[in-house]
A and B are shown apart, each in its own frame.
Chain A
Amino acid sequence: MLNVAFWIFTFLMVFFAVMVIAHRNPVSNALSLVMAFLCLAALFFTLDAGFIGIIQILVYAGAVMVLFLFIIMLLDLKTERGRRINSSLFFGGLLMSGAMAYLVAAVVLRSKISERPLPPLAVAKIDDVREVGMALFTAHNLPFQVIGVLLLAATVGVVLLSRKEIR
């Protein structure tokens, strides 16, 4: 049952991901991206990673996308609709993405990863959320702290680059 759901959501996600770049209207692009994020969240649910699925919806489909839509509506991007596609760029892009798709397909078809039996999931002693918290604050504490520094630098940068006049 979950296996079927996995495939359904995978195809839906790929479909919406293509829609993100295929649509000409920025608002449709952004909404397609929301749908792709939601399908990705559903994928996490089918893989028994409920907490990550919820975070995916809250952070990406929720907060980040609302921001995206806000900016798109505020900027009123009409120019995008009237722009003509440069055919040489289009075919160049098609060639590159085609080559990449061929590579990925060739690797996936030859790979024996899917034949290998997966190790069973460890039986959790504590619930999902706490497990993530434990991983972040004990074993993976160092990279977690580095992300903190990254966010600090990014915050300083946003203030510097977005204020009308730096104080």
Chain B
Amino acid sequence: MFNALYLELFVVLLGVLMLLAESFIGRHTNRVYIALGGAVGLLVVLFLTSVSGVPPEAASWPAWNFYSPDPQAKIFKQIALAITILVLLMASDFIPVLTKFLPAEHPNAGIGEFFALPVFICAGLMWMASAVHFLMIFVAIELVTITFYILVAYQRRNLLSLEAGVKYLILGALSTGILVYGITWIYGVTGSFHLETIALRLPDVAEGDGKALLFGFGLVLIGILFKVGAAPFHIWIPDVYQGAAAPVTALLSVGSKAAGVIVLLRVLECGFASPMLRAELATALQWFAALTLLVGNLAALPQSNAKRLLAYSSIAHAGFVLMAVASVFGSELTGPAIAFYLGAYLLMTALAFHVLTLVTASTGSDEISAFNGLSSRSPFLAFAMTVALLSLAGVPLTVGFFGKLLVFIPAIQAGMLPLVIIGALGVAAGLYYYLKILRAMFWLLPEEGSHIKIGKVSIAVLSVLATLILGLGVLPLPLMGLVGYY
């Protein structure tokens, strides 16, 4: 059995190797090989994840106090690894845009780091997925967030990117402060950072210090919901998603969200040990979920920038996930449903952002108007984007449909009818705003008629993703088995 603790170690080593690679290859060597090498390395780790666990000779290590290699953590690690691999491949298509906005001495400068930093983020996401100790949760979240500050502000000659970086930095720091303040309250009341120990002590403590506990857990909840991008802590999302490079946005919207969700689930599982906290937190979650669904779906309607539209759509998807999270004690299907939803979300978001990356690299714009007449400029890209958008909207015969179906089931089982109705309205609104991009691709005439060239690797990636979305949309059983339905 492969020691689970070494998984992240391998990823970090891979990141360091990718950083060093630039010193050993020539100035004019194509940097794409660094990204491809990184993707292959992560693929190996992805395989190792499925055979990882606690080997008996290492069972006494103190590190297991902070780190849990349970099946749920494995699924979320695989999500983190898969999206990082896809983002690396996406990033190699983004080089033409990146070089335009980097103050570089020679054309290849600053590209290698753009590939290496997502790998460090991936390590952080994997640590978040396994963290069962508030110290570990905190340092892993900080590793992810601080590296994202850099990546978001990466295109230094692009004002939008700089603005996004500054906004993310300030709001991210505020949310970190809130998270830490909440953790100190929980520690003050229970005397422990370890989630299991806290859960054991909660019933005794909750009588006298219920309000203090509620305050602590409430603040932690806010801190995590900020990372997940739930309303009303979503204000940063549209600006940051728009300003960041498209591959970074994809990583932010899938990786950061998925890892935030598993931390949320672990903290909730701990807090639910006290019946008082369970009732209060479940109510709060339902409100947050309803608000997130409304804000995400309604605010997406008037957007004219494709990245901004996808940003609001990512808020809406966070709402669907939260709807399932809110039902965590009314149904046993919640865990697998959330993992399935995030797995499906990974496929369709990666596909949509990869097409967006290619379109931006060719037209230099990420407005919806850049998609005008895409069906004649590149029928393949138009087809791939159509699959991604239909799946994001939750149309049958795509994996997105089953994702939505599976998160509605636990919500109905838990008897949260108002939330289910809001969710159904959200799905209907979603159809409309995704159609806006479809309309631009198929009905509007292109502003410039140039044909879009696509590399072989990108064609392969796009085809695999589109096939998976359609295939799993007809037969979702393989993915359901992977996330633990049976």
Contact = CB atoms under 8 A, between A and B. Distances in A.
Nearest to B134: A143
Interface stretch (A49-57, A67-75, A156-164): A156-164
Given A113-B189, A157-B117, A157-B147, A139 B65 contact: yes
Contact of A156 (B135, B150, B215): B150
Contacts of A164: 103
Interface stretch (B136-144, B297-305, B369-377, B416-424): B136-144
A150 B189 contact: no
Contacts of A149: 12, 120, 123-124, 143
Q: What is the predominant secondary structure among interface residues of chain A facing chain B? A: helix
Nearest to B103: A165
B457 interface: no
Contact of B19 (A103, A138, A156, A165): A156
Interface residues of A, number: 29
Interface in B47-72: 62-63, 65-67
B105 A150 contact: no
Interface residues of B, number: 46
A143 B215 CA distance: 26
B62 A139 contact: yes
Interface string A89-110: 0000000000000011011001
A112 interface: yes
A64 to B, nearest CB: 15
Contact of A166 (B109, B133, B140, B149): B109
Contacts of A103: 215
A161 B116 CA distance: 15
A133 to B, nearest CB: 15
A153 B12 CA distance: 10
A166 B102 CA distance: 8
Contact of B147 (A142, A147, A153): A153
B154 interface: yes
Contacts of A113: 188-189, 209, 212
Interface string B134-167: 0110111011001101100110100000000000
Contacts of B215: 103-104, 107
A152 interface: yes
A112 B136 CA distance: 28
Contacts of A153: 117, 120, 143, 146-147, 150
Contacts of B120: 149, 152-153
B153 A161 contact: yes
A79 interface: no
Contacts of B133: 143
A146 interface: yes
Interface in B209-231: 209, 211-212, 215
Contacts of A147: 139
Given A152-B120, A160-B110, A141 B63 contact: yes
Nearest to A148: B12
A167 interface: yes
B142 A150 contact: yes
Given A107-B212, A156-B116, A157-B150, A140 B105 contact: no
B113 A150 contact: no
A14 interface: no
Contacts of B478: none
A136 to B, nearest CB: 11
Contacts of A167: 104-106, 109
Contacts of A166: 102-105, 109-110
Contacts of B209: 111-113
A154 interface: yes
Interface string B115-128: 01100100110010
B208 interface: yes
A44 B150 CA distance: 33
Interface in B180-230: 185, 188-189, 208-209, 211-212, 215
Shortest 3 CB-CB distances between A and B: which pairs?
A157-B150, A166-B110, A112-B208
Interface of A: 103-104, 106-107, 110-113, 138-143, 146-147, 149-150, 152-154, 156-157, 160-161, 164-167
Interface of B: 5, 12, 16, 19, 62-63, 65-67, 102-106, 109-110, 113, 116-117, 120, 123-124, 127, 133, 135-136, 138-140, 142-143, 146-147, 149-150, 153-154, 156, 185, 188-189, 208-209, 211-212, 215
Given A139-B62, A160-B113, 9 more contacts: A103-B215, A149-B12, A150-B143, A154-B147, A156-B19, A161-B153, A161-B156, A165-B104, A166-B109
